[in-house]
């Protein structure tokens, strides 16, 4: 089965850091660009970042540029998102999404930022 499985979400204090992981299976991970998209509770979708298949080209939304870093390890079929300087408004479910056209979505991992 083609699958994306996120992990790493937890409760963190404002100003804290976190690393999210997304384990891919069922497809050739290194052939696909990947993305992170989040959804705050009761709100819509927000694209955060994208990364080329090789990892050479990265893109970020203005809201997270300089605070979040996307990376990948093609030898481990895993995508990462490093979150720094977290704010309460970063509280959301974070989804890992395959392909430039946002084809396949993981089930999401919840990040809560609160003191």
Question: According to the binding rule CB under 8 A, does residue 5 interact with another protein?
Answer: no
Query: Phi/psi at 109 (nearest 5 deg)?
Result: -135, 135
Question: According to the binding rule CB under 8 A, does residue 9 interact with another protein?
Answer: no
Cβ pair 48, 60 in contact under 8 A: yes
Of 14-22, 24-32, 68-76, 104-112: span binding another protein (CB under 8 A): 104-112
* DSSP code at position 12: E
Sites for another protein among residues 21-80 (CB under 8 A): 35, 37, 44-47, 50, 59-61
The nearer residue to another protein, 31 or 44, going by C-beta atoms, is 44
The CA distances from residue 45 to 38, 39, 40, 79, 90, in Å, are: 6, 5, 8, 19, 13
Question: According to the binding rule CB under 8 A, does residue 102 interact with another protein?
Answer: yes
In the complex, the smallest distance separating the C-beta of residue 30 from another protein, rounded to whole angstroms, is 21
User: What's the residue count for the chain?
Assistant: 115
Question: According to the binding rule CB under 8 A, does residue 108 interact with another protein?
Answer: yes
Find where tokens 């979505």 sit: 105
Binding site for another protein (CB under 8 A): 35, 37, 44-47, 50, 59-61, 95, 101-108
């Amino acid at each position: 089965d083609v699958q994306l499985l996120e992990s790493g979400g937890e409760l963190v204090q404002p100003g804290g850091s976190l690393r999210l992981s997304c384990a891919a299976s069922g497809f050739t991970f290194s052939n696909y660009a990947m993305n992170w998209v989040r959804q705050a509770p009761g709100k819509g979708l927000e694209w955060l970042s994208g990364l080329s298949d090789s990892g050479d080209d990265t893109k970020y939304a203005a809201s997270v540029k300089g605070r979040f870093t996307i990376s990948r390890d093609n030898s481990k079929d895993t995508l990462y998102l490093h979150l720094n300087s977290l704010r309460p408004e970063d509280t959301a479910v974070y989804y890992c999404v395959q392909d430039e056209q946002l084809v396949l979505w993981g089930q999401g991992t919840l990040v809560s930022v609160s003191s």
